[in-house]
Amino acid sequence: MRWEPLLSHRPMTVVTGFPGILGTDVSPNQERTAVTANRADDSLEQVASEVKVCPLCELCRSRTHAVPGEGNPQARVMLVGEGPGWHEDQQGKPFVGASGKFLSELLTNAGLSRDEVFITNVVKCRPPGNRDPLPDEIQACSGYLERQINLIEPDVIVTLGRFSMSKFFPGEKISKIHGLPKEIGRRLVVPMYHPAAALHQGALKATIQEDFDTLPKLLADRERARETSREREDRHSQSSLF
Ligand code: URA
Ligand code: SF4
């Protein structure tokens, strides 16, 4: 039997041509499940308030608190994990347990603070017993992540772990592509190991540290590219004055 939403939700607005994660139009399947607020007045607060009462998948039944994500609304780096664990479910905040502590260390070593990035997850509610999120749950939740990405417009998205990676690099293997940035749509997406995996497998610790250490250079390159295109635009608008 198909699972039915528990609560009545505000009417779902289906927007044709909703720009998907890749900065391109979404597939018909994504379009159906995207919980899209009115695009012009959407906000991170609006996304969070919908997530907190979201009935769109079965994970709503077992959550204590949904975890919409948190951080700087103007972040240049967005980190996307898998899903809340026990601590996150208790507090309603992302990455506050042991892997969160390690993530904070990784960020600090890369010259970034938690306050300047935005941290969220592929699914916003805790899978019971920390099981893997199911494809249906990831799909049901994808509209929220897309809206967050479109609102924040980060330069760099770091995917943490294979579920987050699969959103951007379907069919790829983390052991093959970790640390390799790829231009996808308007942003650079860098797949990385999940901090929890690195905590449990010592051999991955140095790898994830090295991958995080590439972030400052990626950001500097992005900034330079932005300046160059700004200068080009300025030159163009000045020359068109005469
Ligand atoms: N693991 C995740 O993927 N996300 C969290 O928020 C915490 C642990
Ligand atoms: Fe809604 Fe996502 Fe939570 Fe499922 S995981 S109930 S789709 S917020």
Atom of ligand 1 nearest to the CA of 161: 3
Q: Count CB neighbours of 63 within 10 A.
A: 18
The CATH number that applies at residue 105 is 3.40.470.10
End-to-end CA distance of the chain: 70
- Residue of the CA atom closest to atom 6 of ligand 2: 60
pLDDT tens per residue across span 120-139 = 999 999 999 999 999 999 99
State the residue for tokens 């009115």: 38
- Residue of the CA atom closest to atom 7 of ligand 1: 95
What's the CA-to-centroid distance between 104 and ligand 2, angstroms? 25
Tally of structural domains, the chain: 1
On whether residue 202 sits in a domain, the answer given is: yes
> Could you tell me the CA-to-CA distances from 133 to 51, 122, 123, 136 in Å, in that order?
16, 9, 7, 8
123 lines ligand 2 (CB under 6 A): yes
Which residues form the domain of 170? 28-233
Tokens of 150: 């479109």
The pTM score is: 0.84
Angstrom distance (rounded) from CA 6 to CA 9:
9
pLDDT tens per residue across span 171-210 = 999 999 999 999 999 899 999 999 999 999 999 999 999 9
On whether residue 163 sits in a domain, the answer given is: yes
Best residue among 51, 67, 86, 99 to mutate for probing ligand 1, ranked by most atoms within 8 Å of CB: 99
